[in-house]
Structure 1
Amino acid sequence: MKKFVFVKSSYSGDQANTECVEVATNVPGTVALRDSKRPDGPVVQVSGITWEAFVAAR
């Protein structure tokens, strides 16, 4: 089982009460995303290439 290490996305707001996305990039070839307010909730996993395309499209 993959053990993701999540950090708050730099694209999220700086305020503690804002909704934000946490991102884990510690598993090679995979980027995992989750809602910071639901750390035990669902995790979305995408390939590194998919994540790079998503970020580039902003």
Structure 2
Amino acid sequence: MEKKLKMEEITHLLEKVEKLRSRLYQAVGDDLSKLTDDQIIPISKELDELILLYYKNR
């Protein structure tokens, strides 16, 4: 069983999600074909992991 995050950890997690989301949007821009680019995939995966962690702890 996973330990639940404290409120301050959740706040920090949300800040990281927002930074990564912005980074992803900047990297992709208006060119959705970049979503499968080798530089974009690791950002997207990390963002997915953080979002899942958030939903498990809210």
Higher Rg of the two aligned structures: 2
Structure having the larger proportion of residues in helix: 2
Q: Same fold (TM over 0.5)?
A: no
- Which has the bigger relative contact order, CA under 8 A and spacing at least 6? 2
